Amino acid sequence: MEQPLKPSPDSYEARDFGWLVAMSLLFFGLVAIGFWREYRTEWGPYQHEFPEILGHYGKGEEARKFIPGIKQIWIPQIAVTDRCITCHLGYDWSAILPPSLAQPLTPHPAGDLIAKHPFEKFGCTPCHGGQGWATTVNAAHIGGPGWIDPMLTPALAASQGLTMDQMMQMRCNFCHRHDEATPGMDVINRGKTLLRKRKCILCHSIEGRGGNTGPELTYEGDSNPELYDFSRVAGQKTFFNWNVQHLMHASRITPTTQMPDYNMPIDDARALTLLILSWRRQSFPPEYIPAPSEAAAAMQPTPATTPSANAPEHH
């Protein structure tokens, strides 16, 4: 009876057996890590909790239809891919869910602003900032290396001497740039008034109009902060703070500048800075740009708020 052939100690099978076993174990380990990362995500617990909340508030059918997984709002017209709703699942349920729900399941406040800026047309990040395609809290709110568009928060606004509403007006002006004034944007409106009052266009070119003594400001919001000298800036070394202090005391921040020291009140300097930093290369289709005439009409006082010519005077 013939004996089965045994591999020679010098054969490929004998020499590579250990490596094959090691690579197989490594491959198995990587697959296991992949499954673990897939099912141990930051957003997993919220998606487990959300159907229970829907059921509690009488939406049992919707709860049964809920499919776990990454959710997103995709708007190719404005290059938006927002996966924020993977965690912020209650965003569009303000008619059902109470605002007292803890984040990230809190519904977004409803109202006239959302009625004019529906989620399916604008998404989340055009207004709130952040890295929309991220699926972790840190990456979504702060961004990765080199990311300069963090999510707007009350703490971030307060660090610049602003409220959350005031800081968000800067992003509103991406679309409302050419409005003479816009309802609900009092700080940006103040900046536009100051721009005209201070005659900034005499020295600065804006959208092809103005002087060339100072830098062009058409897309000043896209400027690279690394090209600026922060050595004389007091407080936070941010681009916003640099502009505020430069508008107040230009020669103190840039001794070689030709810009005069306006000794501008800080609230005026903040308003102008918000306006200037809102000027960015944003690509919005025409249907996203509001007609300036509509904004101007909306700023006019209504009959209910306009004093009657026959109304008695109060002294």
| Beta strand 209-210 pairing with 205-206 | antiparallel
Let me know if residue 294 belongs to a domain: no
Shared domain for 161 and 266, answered yes or no, is yes
Question: Rounded to the nearest 5 degrees, what angle is found at the Cα of 253, between the Cα atoms of 249 and 257?
Answer: 85
Shared domain for 163 and 108, answered yes or no, is no
Domain encompassing residue 212: 153-286
What's the pLDDT at 67? 96
Which structure tokens are listed for 18?
A: 């250990």
Let me know if residue 309 belongs to a domain: no
Shared domain for 223 and 109, answered yes or no, is no
Let me know if residue 234 belongs to a domain: yes
Q: How far is CA 40 from the centre of its chain?
A: 27
Shared domain for 140 and 187, answered yes or no, is no
**pTM for this entry:** 0.80
Shared domain for 172 and 226, answered yes or no, is yes
Give the integer Cα–Cα distance in Å for 154 and 89.
21
Which structure tokens are listed for 57?
A: 């508030």
Minimal CA–CA distance to 240: which of 129, 158, 139?
A: 158
What's the pLDDT at 29? 77
Walk along the chain (315 residues) and give the pLDDT tens digit of each residue: 555 556 566 666 666 777 777 788 788 777 777 766 666 799 999 999 999 999 999 999 999 999 999 999 999 999 999 999 999 999 999 999 999 999 999 999 998 889 999 999 999 999 999 999 999 999 999 987 778 889 999 999 999 999 999 999 999 999 999 999 999 999 999 999 999 999 999 999 999 999 999 999 999 999 999 999 999 999 999 999 999 999 999 999 999 999 999 999 999 999 999 999 999 998 889 999 888 777 777 777 655 444 443 443 333
Let me know if residue 110 belongs to a domain: yes
| Number of structural domains found in the chain | 2
Q: Which of 151, 166, 192 represents a domain boundary (last residue)? A: 151
Give me the amino acid identity at 229.
D
Shared domain for 146 and 198, answered yes or no, is no
Let me know if residue 107 belongs to a domain: yes
The answer to whether the CB of 80 falls within 8 A of the CB of 282 is no
Let me know if residue 217 belongs to a domain: yes
Q: Which of 100, 126, 151 represents a domain boundary (last residue)? A: 151
What's the pLDDT at 147? 83
Shared domain for 67 and 164, answered yes or no, is no
Shared domain for 117 and 231, answered yes or no, is no
Shared domain for 229 and 125, answered yes or no, is no
Let me know if residue 216 belongs to a domain: yes
Q: How many other β-carbons are positioned within 10 Å of the β-carbon of residue 148?
A: 10
Cis peptide before 7 (omega within 30 of 0): no
Shared domain for 188 and 98, answered yes or no, is no
What's the pLDDT at 304? 46
Shared domain for 201 and 215, answered yes or no, is yes
Q: Which of 121, 151, 181 represents a domain boundary (last residue)? A: 151
Let me know if residue 304 belongs to a domain: no
Shared domain for 189 and 133, answered yes or no, is no
The CATH number of whichever domain residue 262 belongs to comes to 1.10.760.10
